Amino acid sequence: MQNVENVKSAIQRILHNLSKRIDGEITKVYVGMAGRSLHSQVNEVQRSVDSSTPISDVTIKGIIQSARTKPMNKYQILDVVPRAYYVDKRKTDTPVGECGSEIKINVNLIIANEILKRNLYRVLTTSNINVKDYIITPIATGEHLLTPEEKQTGCMLLDFGAETTTVSIYKDGTLAYMNTLPLGGRNLTIDIMNGLNVLEDTAERIKTNIDLPLDPTAANSVIIDGKNSLDAAKYINARFGEIMANVNKQVSYAGMSMDAIRSIVLIGAASQLRGVTDKIKDITKITNVRIGNMPSAINIIDSTCNRIEYIGIMSLLTEAAERIDTVDTCVKINTYDGGMFNVETPEPPTPTSPEPAPTEPKKQKPESWAERMAKKFNRMFAEDPDDE
């Protein structure tokens, strides 16, 4: 979050657009959290328990929450993700109901620079926005994009954003490691700008129109806005190689080897570069590489919304929908006499002749809030492209 006021303005525009479309008011929001400083840190918590009483879910949750008390210099714990459970030094996947005298839980502390949440809190409070809950965006994305088999056998989720690349590694069914690298798709564009002496819009257009931007030896030599595509491809390939070299290092930082990773899933705008899956297969020697799809719980009515840039947003929506209670809501729909969406109409005039009064035409049943939101979701982004 580089500019608090810009973020504040963007959020207010989004909420304004959404409020118009639901015929009401947004009273609470779920906030997705991500950023350059976001990463995981392994921690271990343990507690002695009464061996004569089965371990309860309340006990497990209490031990996990106690990990939040660990002191963090300049960092703040945003979430705690369990990795492994041990009862009397014996590993188990189902500690609830077991008996023992000691329980130990290995967890991942999800932490970020304390200024991240402080600035976010400043934006929300000055905008009078009530927060329903905070969601760690990379965790929500991994939860709703990866298959159980991928998370069990070993999978790396790569989110190639504009300014950052988030690396999430899953193993044995849970998050094993996460880190955010300060390099993203925009770095490729900047290298073209500096190398070919062009403006950013031109550099972006060149980058997205090269047939094989990650393979300068095989790319076709064409002139785009007066610049040779092969020259741009050299800059793209070099920077992408640097990003992937840093990605490979994350595996060792996680205490794992590449042999433990069986698949890679790509999301983010930069993952749309032509030939990106083949390039990553060549660099990592992992053959199972795919582009991520929308969460299965989301039904896309308008195909123009089915874009890889929106996967993070859709994952947050899915996670929020699972967290919210069935009787709870984050919106206040305007009500009118006769029903939620029925607009108030004046009383029909009294007939002045013996002829019967005209019959008021039957009103068409309005669409539900969910249907209206789904159909107009893409229009919101089209009207305010900077809001993302």
DSSP string, 207-239: HHT-SSTT-TTTS---EETTEEHHHHHHHHHHH
3-state DSSP call for residue 313? helix
pLDDT tens per residue across span 212-231: 999 988 888 889 888 998 99
Identify the segments of the chain with pLDDT beneath 50: 342-346, 362, 369-370, 376-378, 380-388
pLDDT for 382 equals 46
Helix residue ranges per DSSP H, the chain: 4-22, 57-66, 114-126, 137-145, 148-153, 185-196, 200-208, 229-253, 276-284, 311-323, 369-383
pLDDT tens per residue across span 260-313: 999 999 999 889 999 999 999 999 999 999 999 999 888 888 888 888 888 999
Residue type at 7 in one-letter notation: V
Rounded to 10 degrees, what is the CA torsion of 128, 132, 138, 140?
Answer: -150
Residues 6+ apart with CB under 8 A from 177: 40, 108, 167, 168, 169, 250, 253, 254, 255, 256
CA distances from 346 to 45, 184, 279, 343, 349 (A): 67, 58, 66, 10, 9
Comparing CA positions, the residue from 159, 141, 151 lying closest to residue 298 is: 141
pLDDT for 292 equals 95
Asked, for residue 264, whether it belongs to a domain, the answer is: yes
Asked, for residue 267, whether it belongs to a domain, the answer is: yes
Asked, for residue 373, whether it belongs to a domain, the answer is: no
Residues 6+ apart with CB under 8 A from 291: 265, 266, 267, 271, 277, 308
pLDDT for 351 equals 52
Q: Please state, in angstroms and rounded to a whole number, the distance separating the CA atoms of residues 184 and 246.
A: 12
- Token digits of residue 49: 């328990």
Asked, for residue 246, whether it belongs to a domain, the answer is: yes
Task: Name the packing angle between helices 200-208 and 185-196 (round to 10°).
Answer: 110
Asked, for residue 240, whether it belongs to a domain, the answer is: yes
Tokens 């749309």 label which residue?
272
Asked, for residue 173, whether it belongs to a domain, the answer is: no
CA distances from 22 to 55, 184, 334, 387 (A): 46, 35, 9, 19
**Structural domain count of the chain:** 1
CB 170 within 8 A of CB 142: yes
Tokens 């690349």 label which residue?
165
- Token digits of residue 26: 């947004």
The range of the structural domain enclosing residue 273 comes to 181-291
Residues 6+ apart with CB under 8 A from 323: 30, 133, 135
Asked, for residue 115, whether it belongs to a domain, the answer is: no
pLDDT for 220 equals 85
What is the pTM for the complete model shown? 0.82
Q: Any idea what the CATH number is for the domain that residue 244 is in?
A: 3.30.420.40
CB 261 within 8 A of CB 158: no
Residue 262 has a CB neighbour count (10 Å cut-off) of 16
Determine the longest span between alpha carbons in the chain, in angstroms: 92
Asked, for residue 129, whether it belongs to a domain, the answer is: no
